[in-house]
């Protein structure tokens, strides 16, 4: 069993947390100080929270810290993704989530099918005074998602009261020395290897890199830096540039695992992706999709309802 970790956010006394993920929220940056302040203020009271921001910025860590800081930190932490949302939320067994003390985490709410969103709404309407807290994540403005029919207006309103913006790594470069040191330490412990030092030019290069993949990209990079038969005693900027060039040049997987979602859901996601690429211009999106504008409107009306999006003939 993982032992609680002592965490030292920039502003306060020492809290303790039960998850290693909390360490991804460490650092001296103003962005992290503001995030910790907001989490401390909200955790004792809120029951519905919307996390906004880019993917892989530490959303699950934020959710778990909110649970640890809540009055009931021993509740069951249950994550439901878009891939299993219909199975988890549309069956009668979904009410089991209300029969136990549950903390629900939804990492990709904007990808939930309309049917899954309706199932979530039913669960939240049934919740009443039961101890169910829900933390959901979106990576776009909820109003844009509503206009694109990717998020129901009811859910947008329900989750619109309390929002927490999770900063990307680009917004917290001052935290990178601490994050990289921690990841190197963990890697050294896993491999029984020696932890290399970090030169000033390495840290400058790390803080200048955009890290568009956020924590996932950082973790892959740190792993690659200390892989191989000979790990240097000190990591330099040249080492970082070499590893990043290798990671960014890797080909995309040609045969990804099939997602266990309905064809209607796949069609809906493709339509929404085209709409985003067209900046919400429905006429242009209809041209790209090869359908009439009236057909596109019917598809969007269907997506906004309680049944999955279907292809109009």
Which residues pair with residue 78 across a beta bridge?
A: 104
Closest CA to 33 of 174, 140, 160: 174
How far apart CA 60 and CA 21 sit, in angstroms, is: 8
Q: What DSSP designation does 255 have?
A: S
Residues 146 and 153: beta-carbon distance below 8 Å: yes
Q: What is the pLDDT of residue 217?
A: 96
Residue range 46-65: mean pLDDT, rounded: 95
Structure confidence by residue, pLDDT tens digits, 254-277: 444 555 556 566 667 777 777 776
How far apart CA 249 and CA 234 sit, in angstroms, is: 25
217: tokens are 């990209």
Domains of the chain: residue spans and CATH:
5-167 (3.40.50.300), 172-248 (1.10.8.60), 263-304 (1.10.10)
Structure confidence by residue, pLDDT tens digits, 97-137: 887 789 999 999 999 999 999 999 999 988 776 778 999 99
Asked whether the predicted pLDDT for residue 310 surpasses 70, the reply is no
Asked whether the predicted pLDDT for residue 173 surpasses 90, the reply is yes
Structure confidence by residue, pLDDT tens digits, 281-308: 787 777 666 677 777 777 777 665 544 4
């Amino acid at each position: 069993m993982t032992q609680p970790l002592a965490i030292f956010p920039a502003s306060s006394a020492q809290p303790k947390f039960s998850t290693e993920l909390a360490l991804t929220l460490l650092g001296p940056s103003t962005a992290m100080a503001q995030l910790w302040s907001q989490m401390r203020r909200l955790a004792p009271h809120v029951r519905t929270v919307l996390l906004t921001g880019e993917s892989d910025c530490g959303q699950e860590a934020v959710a778990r810290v909110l649970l640890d800081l809540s009055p009931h930190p021993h509740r069951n932490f249950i994550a439901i993704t878009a891939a299993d949302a219909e199975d988890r939320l549309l069956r009668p067994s979904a009410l089991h989530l209300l029969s136990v003390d549950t903390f629900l985490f939804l990492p990709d709410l904007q990808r939930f099918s309309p049917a899954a969103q309706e199932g979530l709404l039913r669960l939240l309407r049934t919740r009443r005074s039961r101890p169910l807290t829900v933390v959901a994540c979106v990576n776009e403005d909820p109003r844009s998602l509503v206009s694109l029919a990717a998020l129901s207006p009811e859910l947008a309103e329900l989750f619109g009261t309390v929002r927490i913006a999770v900063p990307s790594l680009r917004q917290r470069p001052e935290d990178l020395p601490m994050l990289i040191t921690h990841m190197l330490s963990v890697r050294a412990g896993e491999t029984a290897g020696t932890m290399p030092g970090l030169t000033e030019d390495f840290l400058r290069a790390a803080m200048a890199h955009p890290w568009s993949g956020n924590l996932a990209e950082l973790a892959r990079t740190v792993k690659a830096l200390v892989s191989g038969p000979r790990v240097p005693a000190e990591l330099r900027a040249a080492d970082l540039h070499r590893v990043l060039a290798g990671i960014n040049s890797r080909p995309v997987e040609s045969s990804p695992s099939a997602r266990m979602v309905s064809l209607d859901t796949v069609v809906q996601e493709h339509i929404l992706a085209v709409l985003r690429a067209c900046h919400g211009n429905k006429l242009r999106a209809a041209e790209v999709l090869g359908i009439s504008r009236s057909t596109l409107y019917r598809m969007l009306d269907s997506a906004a309802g309680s049944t999955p999006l279907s292809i109009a003939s």
